[in-house]
Each structure stands twice: as structure tokens, then as C-alpha cells.
Chains A and B, each alone.
Chain A
């Protein structure tokens, strides 16, 4: 097995507050509010009314004509409100359900451990009905409209447990005990419904034990390959995984599905088995609580729709902290704790908010400071790094040190583009590959001049699109896109 990697990127050192291998169940909240759009798919209209009695696992929103997957109630109880709320900069309908007496979870009909006897159509229906098909960036293709392509059009299926972020859900927990066998079954199910697909499993090369076990269990598989990968940030991005594993070019700005590739993470594959083999609808998530501002860094099994307040209460340390969803580099701020957990949550990170000034901050030895350069003592030791939200320096003019070009995973030169952004929006930006930027924010992180490159590039991209600059111009001619017309509203091609 050859270790695969890409040029650029940065292997993050271990930050303090990695989730431990311990999993607990979150107690039931008194009410849940379930957003009508979760994961990949458009917003749905709820099929229940205020006052209706619903059971756990009951479908409360479903539309076979839209690109979407059904949404379930995660508790048994009574619908108390249906209202619009602001959820991650979108106005979304939320169904609020008051928890009543639990009458057991509704199982999906037809699910069986002997799934290999089922016809493909039935498996796809199970995936769709369970809501699992909405997981990950572009959904899992089924013959229902759950992704932008159908399952027969999938040429490559990438499953990854790279763990390249600063905080990752522990693979040891996800694949503990029987889960490993479930995971393999999940892969088999996916192979059955996507007959043409070659399956690629990318795995953190440091998890040798699990890798060996998976290798033993999959010796008989055809069209299946395992790649150990270096956990360099941002290896887990679709845009980086596809060129690293397959050597294909990626249509930056569009999705992997456009070139017939589906990228799934470990938890999604596990859910596939739970849906098809055990008939469980998707109403639970394993979320890891990471970062030094948590009293205890653990994994927690939580129902979809539980409010963050309920999940995090008593688990945070005192003092100001910033709560971030999924990724330290790109994640959204979770300021409003009344918002519910949905299907896409995998990590909740809390780090101390630090506007404190330090005496001679630039001259510290830095046992706990992470840095791309090796100017801190931490480069030579294995102490855990302490993250906080201080800028750690003032903005200065660019000195062309070249750090940003060195770490860029898509081989563009952020500082060059930034120079042209300052001169005004023009077509040079396209030429230097501004639309190749995948917004991983690594350039901003490593910049010693503290230039907010990532944000400048993002703002310029939005401006370019506003003035009608068509990124498809530089991307489309080189690719054979599948079902491109329907995607992202791009109808006409020049």
C-alpha cells in the first residue's frame, strides 16, 4: 500500500482537547426543533400540523419531486410549533416537537440483515426513506432524487477517514467493536447499488491497526483499493482527495458528483448499514466535543433537533469561549445556542476567546504555540498546542515570504491574487486561478504578516460572480459534466 499525499498543505500538530475514546448518550431534551433542510437537499414543506402526535422515526417531511431526502421526527411527542427561523444565514422552517412518552422507534419496513437478497430498488428506497441519502456534501445517489446524479452514473466512490482537521472524531470510536463489520457491510451495500463504481478507501496512515483489520476483511473485494494517506490539512476536502487518490483534475467550484465521483465519510457509510441492515432512520448523530474550553472532551450521541444549549450546558468551562461547528479553519460560529443540532454536525469545538494582550508576545518561547515556521520551541517537542482566538500579531504589508504558495493545496499563489484584488476586480484574477481556491483558509493561518488572504479571495470571488463573471468559462470546457444543466442554476453554456 503506497502512502498517498499531495503537494502543499500543512500537517497540524495536536491541539489540546482532542476527543477521548469515550462515548456517552445525551439525555432526551424536553423539546426538539427540526430544520426542514438538513444535509444535501432543498428545503421541504412539513407534512405535519401543529397539534399532531408524532412518533420517533416518523417521516415529517418528504417530497419525491425535489432533490431531497425525507426528514424524521427524532422523538415521540406532539408538534407544538412550525415557524421560520434563521439557521446558518438561511431562513428555514423548523418543526418544534414537545417530547412525550417514548413509544419506541419506528423501523423502516423491509430492512433486513440479509440485505443481499433485496433488489437494488428496495435498498435505494431504504436509503432514501431513512434520510441517509442526504449525508455528506453531495448526498448518496439513489434512483430517488437524492443527489445530482443517479447511482449508475457513479464511476468512483471515495470513502475517507483522513482526520486532517485540527480536531477529528476518533476513528477508534466510530469503528469500535461491531461497527467495523457494519462499516464493511455498508461498503458492500454501496457497491451493490453502484455497480460501475470503483471504491477507494482513504485512511489516515497513522491508524495502522484499523487499516490492517480493514485490509484483512476486504481481501476478496473486487474494484476496491485502500490508500493510507498523510493527514495533512486539507486532505479531507473533496477537491484535494480526488486528485490525490485518482490523479484526476477537479472542477473547482463545482462538485465531485459532476464528474461522477461520490465522496463519503466513515459515519455516512455506517449510517448506510444502519438504515439497510437494521432499518434505523437517521435521527441520531455522534458528535465529538473538542477543544480546551470543554470540561471533558468526549463523543456524544445526540438526537437531531436537540438544541445546543441542552447539549452543551454544564459541559463548558467558565470564561468567554467561541463555539465553532466542525472545523477550526472554516467552521461557522455557533453564537446562538438555541439552534438545534442537525445531520451535518460532527464536531463541536470550543476554544477560549482571547483578546488579552501579552507582555512581549512576539518573543515568547512558545511551548504551546503552533506555527508553520519552526521558530517556536513547540516545533521540537510534542506538547499539545493551546488554541485561542488571538490574532497573535498585527497586520503588516506582505513581505513575499512565500508561505502561502507553499501550503496552498490547489497550487495557486494567494498573495499574487491578493495583489491583483487590490488593483481592482479584473480578468487577471481568473487567470491566476481565483476560482480554484477551495477556501481552506490555510494561507491566512500561516501568513506572518497576518493578511486575511482567505477572506480577500472569498470577497473577490463573490464580486466576480456578481458582475457576471462566469467561472464555468474556465472550467467547463475541460470536463465532461454529468447532468450539469440542473446544477447550481447554470443553464446556458457559451
Chain B
């Protein structure tokens, strides 16, 4: 510990002295703060809550651990390479912007860098991961002013970009997961055997994949979205520790359930049954980890109820009535754009205008 402190002190001095490295000081500062916390003291109130953004973000990552491990198990060690590429290139964009802006480096990217690979198809080429994450951080976050100001979820922006730019990969990259034994933990990548995802199966052949294979992840899907028990556990964990607002996942999942229940009764060819809807595709992952991103979700609590229910309605409609079988991604992006409007509406109703003539 003392040794590390010494190294950091020396590096800090060196970075500050060297003119060529001076601009990189925020990077050093972030590293220093990461390891040693802060030495600032309070003014008022005299004590502070122990929680900070670093802990906030680390808990989201902890909640993602089961899904990530399952991803490696199903799709081989190559998944680790995908995650590494995502962190490396996304981090590069983040550092570049913080250096150019001369602003401190923030922690928000830690979560984006892990969520992004988890929503990609397992067979994705590494260069495409790099393109996606760079595009996502750049146009999803940095152009709006960085952490805390983005309108769209950066990971989703990246994923939508590559899925529209290279659509062929998103129809053929769904490899069959390893199942049984040590699975992908001792293999690099699954065989080139691909199959259709459960949602595609329903759309084209009205074939319903079994619920247990959906829950445990033996049906194909994105890297991190198939092990649904892990996602449920992670999401409930986040709700218990109060990092995720329970209103959004609850209203999202409930409205999906209700709408698909009635849709399935009246138009069974378009709308899959409710339980299948809940357990297929990226719905659970999206509801617990992406729709709840506090920056892009509404701030008001009543706004969050509206946001969640509209998300559910949009998802079911996208899945049932359009060619895009995976509706969650578009639903969340659309609702991200609407979220500030919902907030304004709620705030307008809640705080009456003061008439200046009084």
C-alpha cells in the first residue's frame, strides 16, 4: 500500500512536470482517486453518506458478474477478448475527451464498457466491437457533454449502429451455446454452428422454446442476456441495495405481461404468450440494467412509472408487429428520447406556475 502510494506520488510529480504529459493529468488523478479515495473534508452537513459514484458503478458491475460468467461459459473464452476490446477502445474515447476538455475522468464508462459486449451476438468480430463501442461512447455520450448529460444509453447507441450498418452479422451470428460440463470455460469459441434465436423461431415458425432452456440459457441469444436466472438475481440485488429504482423494471415487465396476455388471446399469430415474452430476447437484461440507467431514465418517480409502462407497450408492439424481432433495444432508445419530455410534463403538473400579478 505504501509502495503504491509512493509510485503514485512520483508519477504525479512526473506528469505535472513534463510539459508533454501535462494534459494527461486527469488520467493520473482518476487512478489516484480510484486507489486512495479523497482527502477532502465536509463543510455542511458535517458527515457524509458512505456512498459515492465509484461504489454505485461497482455495484452495477457486481450485479452483472453472473451474466458475464455465464456468457463465458456458453460462448467460450473469446467473450473475455470481446470485453477487453470494448473496455480498451471505449476507454480510449473517454480519456481522449477528458484530456481535450481538461475535465476529470469519470467512472460512468465502467458500466457501459461491460454492458456493451453483453448485448452483442456471440460470434461478433472483434473489429466490429471496437467500431460499435467507439461510436456508442462518442455519439451516445460525449457529444452531449459526457457523463450525466447523455440522452441515450451509449451501449445501445453502439449496438443499434452496428446492427444497422452490418445487418448480415446480426442474422447469422447466433451460435449454439456450450451446454454441460465445463462448457466454454476451456474452449476459445463455439463451433460455427448457428441457429435462430427463440424470438425468430416464434416469428417464422410459431415455435415456442421451452421455458427451462430460456431460463438457464441453453437457447441462443446475445452473450449476456441468455442466463436469465443470473440476470434476475443481479437485478433483484440492485433493487435491494437501492441502486436501481424498482418502479422501472416492475412497470416495464408488468406492462409487457399484460399487453402480451391480451395480444396473445386476440392475435395469437403476432403476439407470443406473456411468459415467453418475458423470458425471451433481451427483455430481462434491458429491464434491469439498461432501462434503469438513471441518467437516461426520468428523474421524477411518477415519470418512471409512465416510462416503464410505455417501454413495455413499445416492446410488445415492436416484437409483434414489425420485422425487428428484438424490440427492447428500439423501445429503450425511443423512450430515452421521450424521458426528458415526461419529466417536464410531470414537473409542470406538480409545480404550479406563479402568477406575477398576485
Contacts and interface: CB of A to CB of B under 8 A. Distances in A.
- Which residue, of B41, B297, B353, has the highest number of chain A Cβ atoms within 10 A? B41
B46 A393 contact: no
Interface in A294-328: 322, 324, 328
A391 B51 contact: no
Contact of A416 (B53, B58, B299): B299
A389 interface: yes
B37 A392 contact: yes
A59 to B, nearest CB: 36
B358 A397 contact: no
A392 B354 contact: no
A481 interface: no
B243 interface: yes
A487 interface: no
B43 A452 contact: yes
Given A359-B1, A397-B147, A329 B358 contact: no
B242 A328 contact: no
Contact of B353 (A366, A406, A431): A431
A384 to B, nearest CB: 13
Contact of A351 (B47, B58, B106): B47
A329 B45 contact: yes
Given A166-B47, A329-B45, A392-B52, A402 B245 contact: yes
Given A324-B46, A369-B50, A353 B41 contact: yes
Contacts of B146: 397
A157 interface: no
B55 interface: yes
Interface stretch (A135-143, A212-220, A271-279, A439-447): A439-447
B300 A389 contact: no
Nearest to B296: A400
Interface in B90-128: 104, 106-108
A391 B295 CA distance: 23
Given A370-B50, A374-B240, A427-B354, A455 B44 contact: yes
A24 interface: no
Interface residues of B, number: 54
A330 interface: yes
A444 B36 contact: no
A423 to B, nearest CB: 14
B354 A330 contact: no
A101 interface: no
A448 B52 contact: yes
Where chain A touches its partner, the secondary structure class is: loop
Given A328-B46, A373-B51, A373-B242, A389 B56 contact: no
B241 A375 contact: yes
Contacts, number: 206
B301 A405 contact: yes
A241 B104 CA distance: 43
Contacts of A444: 44-45, 48
B42 interface: yes
Q: How large is the interface on A (under 10, 10 to 19, 20 to 34, 35 or more residues)?
A: 35 or more
A398 B295 CA distance: 8
A374 B244 CA distance: 11
B347 interface: yes
Nearest to B242: A373
Contact of B59 (A349, A375, A455): A375
Given A331-B46, A390-B42, A432 B351 contact: yes
A359 B36 contact: yes
- Which residue, of B34, B39, B49, has the highest number of chain A Cβ atoms within 10 A? B49
A397 B42 contact: no
B324 interface: no
B46 A351 contact: yes
Given A374-B240, A375-B243, A357 B38 contact: yes
Given A390-B38, A415-B299, A448 B49 contact: yes
A431 B51 CA distance: 31
B54 interface: yes
A402 B51 contact: no
A416 B348 CA distance: 12
Contacts of A427: 354, 356
Contact of A400 (B35, B242, B299): B299
A232 to B, nearest CB: 16
- Which residue, of B51, B53, B351, has the highest number of chain A Cβ atoms within 10 A? B51
B3 to A, nearest CB: 11
Contacts of A454: 44-45
B42 A413 contact: no
Given A391-B41, A431-B351, A433-B351, A445 B245 contact: no
B36 A328 contact: no
Nearest to B30: A394
A166 B4 CA distance: 37
B148 interface: yes
Contacts of A388: 47
5 contacts: A166-B47, A372-B242, A396-B107, A399-B56, A454-B44
Interface of B: 1, 4, 33-56, 58-59, 104, 106-108, 146-149, 240-243, 245, 294-295, 297, 299-301, 347, 351-354, 356, 358
The 6 closest A-B pairs by CB, nearest first: A393-B52, A361-B37, A397-B148, A369-B50, A362-B54, A329-B45
Interface of A: 15, 166, 322, 324, 328-331, 349, 351, 353-364, 366, 369-376, 379, 387-394, 396-402, 405-406, 413, 415-416, 427, 430-433, 441, 444-450, 452, 454-455, 473-474, 477, 494
